[in-house]
Amino acid sequence: GAGVPMFRGNPARTGEMPGPGPDPANGVELLWSFATGGSVWSAPAVIDDVVYTGSTDSNVYAQDAVSSRVLWRFVTGGSVYSSPAVVDGVVYIGSSDSNVYALDAATGAERWRFATGGSVFSSPAVVDGVVHVGGEDFNVYALDAVSGSELWRFGTNDYVYSSPAVVDGIVYVGSWDANIYALDAALGTEVWRFGTDEPVRSSPAVVEGVLYVGGYTSNVYALDAALGTERWRFATGGLWSSPAVVDGVVYAGSLDSNIYALDAGSGNERWRFATATEVWSSPAVAAGVIYTGSEDANVYALDAVSGSEVWRVTTGSWVTSSPAVVDGVVYVGSGDTYVYAIGARGLRLEAGGVARVTSPTSLRGGPASTAVERAELLAGTTVSITGEPETTDEIVWWPVTVDGSGDQGWVDETALEPTENAPG
């Protein structure tokens, strides 16, 4: 089935996810949480119901997407900030131990490692048998995906934290040297460079011949992907995060605490959503909903058109990790060491919720079968649950108000099925 093979969902780094996200009708909940030994900056990859994530505890983890069971872990020599790419049964990921690793996706066995001259925060893009990744040693690398041998390297003038986008034979990448580069994917030669006045940590998204990227101190830029000329710029408080571009709209999380929606053609602001503090997480887009983390510890779901909040889930620390959204679940890491799976909340009997009577039953004056019968409720009757249940003689009783009559009393749980959860 569809999956999320790499950071930003694809080699063009568009941020578009296969989705769908969780159905928010009954709210969302944690399906599972898994504690690593360190903060999780890495954005999960999800392929064939397996979740792959790096952690600052130096491990790369593979987990069953449904049960969260650890299938394997691989120990690197340093913190793993890089996000995995999973292509053709191999996991490619960088580590702050200076290596790029290729691991067997099924077993976690090392296929190869390639030593760079510095930490690898950049997340690999894997296209046509080539691994493209940046390094803290100022270089952009192209490595043979099978053997790990170096095909070429291109030297910038500072750290390359940015993750390369690869589209139509061109590699696009930002550098801390304040340039955005376009390189020939086959040769590693420079096609063009665009000079900004700010370091570029963000990864470019390339859509329909236009490159979108954030500068670290102020702007979102739109550049002609073929020529490297500026189309527009939009001033924010700077971007660590990488923009998403879907259906003619650019979604960008800023260090000024806002998430922006900008018209991709003009750069005009459509909406902004204020979080409580800096946004380092990169937004994911699926089926008209934007999913992103914030350093305020929340994972947000926002309506793509209006920017209004659909839901939020609060973790124990900042959320720098970027969500992967597939098959009704949002997978994301947190600074609290956990990898989270967030999904639709199942219907349940609960205070504030609504239920339907499934078989004729008595409305009683108290939580016991010996209590006075106040009414006979027919199958199909709707009741609102008004409080917490009580158990008498192993029967669970719920306090309810009967819709229509307004009668109040207690009903045996076995005669009820939930139809709506409590709001929120």
d(CA 335, CA 277): 15
Question: What integer pLDDT is reported at residue 1 of this predicted model?
Answer: 52
Which of the residues in the chain have pLDDT under 50?
A: none
pTM over 0.85: yes
Question: What integer pLDDT is reported at residue 74 of this predicted model?
Answer: 99
d(CA 216, CA 250): 17
* Among the four given CATH numbers 3.90.550.10, 3.30.70.60, 3.40.630.30, 2.130.10.10, the one describing domain 7-344: 2.130.10.10
Is 354-420 in CATH node 2.30.30.40?
A: yes
Question: What integer pLDDT is reported at residue 26 of this predicted model?
Answer: 84
Q: Which two tokens stand for residue 139?
A: 């270089």
d(CA 415, CA 273): 44
Question: What integer pLDDT is reported at residue 48 of this predicted model?
Answer: 96
- What are the domain boundaries of the chain? 7-344, 354-420
pLDDT digits (tens, 9 = 90+) for 65-94: 999 999 999 999 999 999 999 999 999 999
Biggest CA-to-CA distance, the chain: 86
C-alpha distances out from residue 177 to 163, 164, 194, 232, Å: 15, 15, 11, 21
Beta strand 324-326 with 329-333: parallel, antiparallel or unpaired? antiparallel
